Structure formats: C-alpha cells, structure tokens
Amino acid sequence: MKNLSLFLLLLGILVACQKWEINNYRLFVTLKDAPFDSLYIADYGKYGKTVFEGHKIEDFTWKFIIPDSISHVSERILFFNTLYNSETNSKIDVRFHVKYNQEQIVLGSINIDDNHTYIYAEYAGQTVSKNEHLKVVINDKEESILVDHVFMEFNLLIDNDNSDISIRVQNPLLPWPYEVSYDDYLTQCILLAQKHPDSKYLMINLSKTLFAYHSAEDIRKVYDSLSDKYKNTQWGRSIEDFLFRKFENALLPTLNRMTEEEIVQDNSKYNLIIFIASWCRPCIEEIPILKEIHHDLTENLIITYVSVDEIDTVDDFQKLMQTREIPWRALLAFQDTHTIKKKYFANAIPHGVLIYPNGEKMDKIDVRVKENRDKLYSLCGLQP
C-alpha cells in the first residue's frame, strides 16, 4: 500500500508538471555554432525585469518555460550569456542581425506573441565595446564599474512573415525617425497595422510612442487599424486612456517637503509641466529656454517642474533649483516616481506636457524645438 501511495503521489506530481508546462509559454531558441553553453533571457514587462535560464535540449538549442502571468504582460526580451564575469570584467549579450530592404537591421531585443516562438540564428562573430558603465552589487552595495560589453552577433533567420520579430524588423525605427517626413511615417504605421492587425508588438509600440504623433486623430487611425486581440490589455487601455481622458491632477510634495500641492493650481491659464531630474544633462541645458518662455509668457502660462529624482538625489535637485535661480515652482515625485511618470507618459526626460485651460486637453511639447515654441507663443497670444 505504501508503494502504491508513493506511486500515485509521483504520478500526480508528474501530471501536474506536464499540465504546468502546457499552460505556460514556451520559447525555443537555436543559435547555430554558438560559442557558449548557457543562455538566459531577461524579460521586461509589467513586473519589471525577470530572468529565466534556458534548458539546453540539444546542441545549440535552448528551451525556455515562461509562466503565463509573465508572458501575457511581456514587452520585450533580451538574450544574454553573462550578466557580469568578474574574472574577465565583462558582460556578454546576444544580438540579432537581419537584412531588410537592403538594410542591415540590428535587434537587441525581441517581442513574443501568444503562440510558441521559435528563433533560429547563426553565429557571425562578436563585437566588444570597452569601458561601458555597469551597475553591479559588490559586498551588498550597488556600484558602477567600467566593463567590456561583449555582443555575440547572430544572423537571424525568419521563416514567418507574421511573427512579431518579422514585424519589428519591418519598422525598427519607431518612434518617428526624423529622416523621413511625418506624413510618410504615419502612412507607414497605418499600412503596417492594416497588414498585421493582430500584432502584439504594434500594440505595445503604439502605447509607448503616443507623443510621436501630431494628434489624437492620427493615433486613432493606427489604433483602429489594429484588431481587438490586444485592446483589452494594459497597452490597449493605456492608448484609450490617452485618447479619451482629460488631464488628471495629482498632489505632490513641494520643494521643501513640508506641504503638498496640486500640479495644476490655476486651470484658467495654460500650464506647462516639465518632468526633470538633477542628473539629467538635457534638462539642465533646457533651463535658459524655459527662463525666456517664463519671462515672455508669464501672464498666460504657468510653468511647473516635477522632479522624478529618487529620494537619494532630491537634495541635488533642491541645490539645482537654488544655484540656477529657477523662478517657477517645483514639486517632487520621489514618493512614487513610477506611477507619476506612467500617469503623464513621461517615458524620457526632459518631458514637457502642456495643459490647456480648464484641463480639456493635454499635449506633449518639447520647447527645445523652435516649431513647438512658436506654437506655444501663438497659443498664449504672442508672436515668437
């Protein structure tokens, strides 16, 4: 009886394991002639970075099992062999190359769709970038060191034109590459969405590049060209929030951290919200432009800084405000920078958001671009 009970227990565990694998996402990667035995992926999505180790099932082929809870919110995957090797003082990543329209495209990451994904590539050598900064943990303390960044280069073989990898290759320069006109860029986005309406990559990319478009109408042209497959996801909901919602205020600590204030206090005027950080060089270089705008448009425009400094650099931002003699107010987002950046689509800084009177509309605006400054002056009733 004991043997029978043990057998049934082991059988139950085996069935459970098989069911777990069936219900989870599988990724197969074949890297012919790869000069290494171990392969890892770093998945970036809703829950941040998650690392998985590949199981080598035959020469040059690895299998990854990714829980549905991760794969369903996966945005991009990077392949690597070594995060950091202290003996060689290096990190080793995998990059893919593919030729498309007579151009050599380099992919540092890929996307995965709903189905099992198969990747085939052939080793093509390696490239070394010396003295790159890398954050590592040494004696329980995170430090930035200089390392050799080694890229294992592989020529990617694509046998499915509808795969997310293939679609990514067809339009690798999103958001808008300024080498082409905006109208051509928009047309390309619409045509690609019409050709691949079920693409997870296109839905994700649209949600991340909303401010690359000139208007909500242009965004809708692309969005309506995509099917409903991924519209009830975090990416689809983000796009719809952007298209339909008005500006939502938020309460943040003031510069002295003694009180809290709303980002927009007076909605009878235009409000220019600039997301900044003390360590951001382009943000600092933008200050003279903002001072000129503040001087010229102060009657019709309110400028507010929102610092996305974390708690350990807030003091640096306070010093920046003082040494640069900033005349407009500043608020601090250190209590939850992730939520604030996501709420106002601040994927990169400096990030400017123009709030129209009564909060009826909000647009991204980069005041470093003369065309945008001219628009701002015109809205406020002055000639630039």
For residue 56, what are the CA distances in angstroms to 87, 276, 336? Answer: 25, 45, 40
Confidence of residue 372 (pLDDT cuts 50, 70, 90): confident
Strands 301-307 and 329-332, bridge-based pairing:
parallel
Residue 143 — φ and ψ, nearest 5°? -130, 155
For 109-143, letters b (16+ CB in 10 Å) and e give bbbbbeeebebbbbbeeeeeeeeeebeeeeeeeee
pLDDT tens column, 146-160 = 999 999 999 998 877
Which residue is it, tokens 């205020």? 249
Residue 209 — φ and ψ, nearest 5°? -125, 30
Q: Rounded to an integer, what distance in angstroms lies between the CA atom of residue 328 and that of residue 350?
A: 16
Is residue 252 within 8 A of residue 306, CB to CB? The reply is yes
The pair of three-digit structure tokens given for residue 379, joined into one six-digit string: 């809205």
Which residue is it, tokens 């690359």? 212
Residue 23 pLDDT > 80, yes or no? no
Identify which has the larger pLDDT, 13 or 224. 224
| pTM of the full structure | 0.67
pLDDT tens column, 31-64 = 999 999 999 999 887 767 899 999 999 999 999 9
Q: What is the DSSP string of 167-227?
A: HHHHSTT-S--TTS-HHHHHHHHHHHHHH-TT-HHHHHHHHH-GGGSS-HHHHHHHHTTS-
Instruction: Report the pLDDT averaged over residues 304-308.
Output: 96
Lowest mean pLDDT among 94-103, 106-115, 267-276: 106-115
* pLDDT (0 to 100) of residue 21: 46
Find which of 2-6, 22-26, 88-92 is predicted with most confidence, using mean pLDDT.
Answer: 88-92
Residue 340 pLDDT > 80, yes or no? yes
Residue 18 pLDDT > 60, yes or no? no
Burial of 298 (0-12, 13-18, 19+ CB in 10 A): middle
Q: How many helices (H) and strands (E) does the chain have?
A: 12, 17
Q: Rounded to an integer, what distance in angstroms lies between the CA atom of residue 48 and that of residue 53?
A: 17
Residue 262 pLDDT > 80, yes or no? yes
Taking Cα atoms as reference points, which of 42, 46, 41 lies closest to residue 28?
41
Q: Rounded to an integer, what distance in angstroms lies between the CA atom of residue 12 and that of residue 120?
A: 35
Is residue 227 within 8 A of residue 195, CB to CB? The reply is no
Q: Which residues contact 346 (CB under 8 A, 6 or more apart)?
A: 275, 308, 340, 353
Residue 264 — φ and ψ, nearest 5°? -105, 115
Lowest mean pLDDT among 49-53, 132-136, 374-378: 132-136
State which amino acid sits at residue 129.
S
pLDDT tens column, 198-208 = 999 999 989 88
Residue 16 pLDDT > 50, yes or no? no
Taking Cα atoms as reference points, which of 286, 282, 258 lies closest to residue 272?
286
**Taking the CB of residue 227, how many other CB atoms lie within 10 A of it?**
12
Is residue 343 within 8 A of residue 250, CB to CB? The reply is yes
> What mean pLDDT value characterizes the chain?
86
Q: What is the DSSP string of 138-178?
A: ETTEEEEEEEEEEEEEEEEE---TTSHHHHHHHSTT-S--T
